[in-house]
Amino acid sequence: MGKPSVVVDNVSMRFNMNQEKVDSIKEYAIKMFKGQISHKEFWALKNVSFTLEPGDHLGILGTNGAGKSTLLKTVAGVMKPTEGTVSTRGKVVPLLELGAGFDKEYTGRENIFLYGAVLGYSKSFLESKYKEIVKFSELGDFINMPIKNYSSGMKARLGFSIATVVDPEILILDEVLSVGDAKFKQKSLKKVTGMFDKGVTVLFVSHSLRQVRKICNKAIVLDHGQIIKAGEIEEVALFYKRMLAEKDGEDPNQVELLSLDKSLKQHCKEEVKKLKDELKESNDKLIEAQAEIERLKALVNNK
């Protein structure tokens, strides 16, 4: 086995939150000078560790505020952890808050080069990929209009098209498979899953457990910045469903029974399909055999 793609080693992330309301920089400076500013520590991540091999697809589950997006940003290099280390091997493409780095006064064309530069792409590379980016974003003549006139969906589509113009070795996804309308969602999902086939390592955050189960082979559950469960996707998915049921005051055992029922139904569907395929194959062989018999009969009759 080769070297890991991602190693997150005992990572913690601390934020200092102001406890006083400050309405301007001037007021902040005055209060700071007088010693009237105090901070409250907030640990968004605490002692998070995991390792991903090339080709692993990790789903990151957790309720709002669990630390999912903060974890992705530390792996992407957007944030430096307060404690611990993150190491990656290969080209990292983060699809986080698409279009967040756009300048609203610039046109779509200008933002392709601005946002692309932020992602580490050279000007010559972006020029060679310009038509491909515009075509995939479906913006047409809107590409020459200022970003401030774009809808949020248009900005997200352009951001997605720029970010995915390269073939990554590590792909970081934060709820980006819900970008744009239904047609564009399908197109973006197809492009991302096409990357999966090339052995890319994936870190994926989504509120859709169905999507996570479809895409990932491993998963972790974050709660208040700490990993409370890690393992194979089906085991972790069941744990997460039970956790949500308990928080909603429901019976977690009922969740397990429903999951087993669904698994049984899925197994039955797969067995039925297998039998149908075998029956079709047998029928095809029977038809071939009958055709061969008729051919031999014709040969005999001709003699």
Least confident of 87-91, 141-145, 197-201: 197-201
- Residue percentage of the chain with pLDDT more than 90: 36
pLDDT at 268 over 70: no
Q: What is the pTM of this model?
A: 0.69
Least confident of 107-116, 149-158, 291-300: 291-300
Given a contact cutoff of 8 angstroms between Cβ atoms, the answer to whether 113 and 123 are in contact is yes
Q: What burial letters (b/e) apply to 192-225, b meaning 16+ CB within 10 Å?
A: beebeeeebbbbbbbeebebbeebbebbbbbeeb
Highest mean pLDDT among 21-25, 33-37, 82-86, 114-118: 82-86
* Segment 204-216 mean pLDDT: 86
Per-residue pLDDT band at 96 (split at 50, 70, 90): confident
Of the candidates 165, 175, 110, which has an alpha carbon nearest to the alpha carbon of residue 136?
Answer: 165
Tell me the CATH number for domain 6-232. Answer: 3.40.50.300
Secondary structure (DSSP) of 37-62: --EEEEEEEEEEEEEE-TT-EEEEE-
Per-residue pLDDT band at 190 (split at 50, 70, 90): confident
Can you tell me the distance from the alpha carbon of 156 to that of 180, in angstroms, rounded to the nearest whole number? 7
pLDDT of residue 196: 78
Domain ranges of the chain: 6-232, 251-303
* Segment 224-246 mean pLDDT: 91
Least confident of 34-43, 216-225, 257-266: 257-266
pLDDT of residue 260: 47
Secondary structure (DSSP) of 61-88: E--TTSSHHHHHHHHHTSS--SEEEEEE
Q: How far is CA 173 from CA 40, 50, 52, 283, in A?
A: 30, 17, 15, 46
Given a contact cutoff of 8 angstroms between Cβ atoms, the answer to whether 94 and 172 are in contact is yes
* Segment 70-90 mean pLDDT: 93
Amino acid at the residue 169: E
pLDDT at 299 over 60: yes
pLDDT, mean over the chain: 82
Given a contact cutoff of 8 angstroms between Cβ atoms, the answer to whether 115 and 102 are in contact is yes
* Segment 183-212 mean pLDDT: 83
pLDDT of residue 6: 96
* Segment 150-160 mean pLDDT: 85
Q: What is the pLDDT of residues 160-175, one digit of tens each?
A: 888 888 888 998 988 7
Given a contact cutoff of 8 angstroms between Cβ atoms, the answer to whether 170 and 155 are in contact is no
* Segment 120-137 mean pLDDT: 92
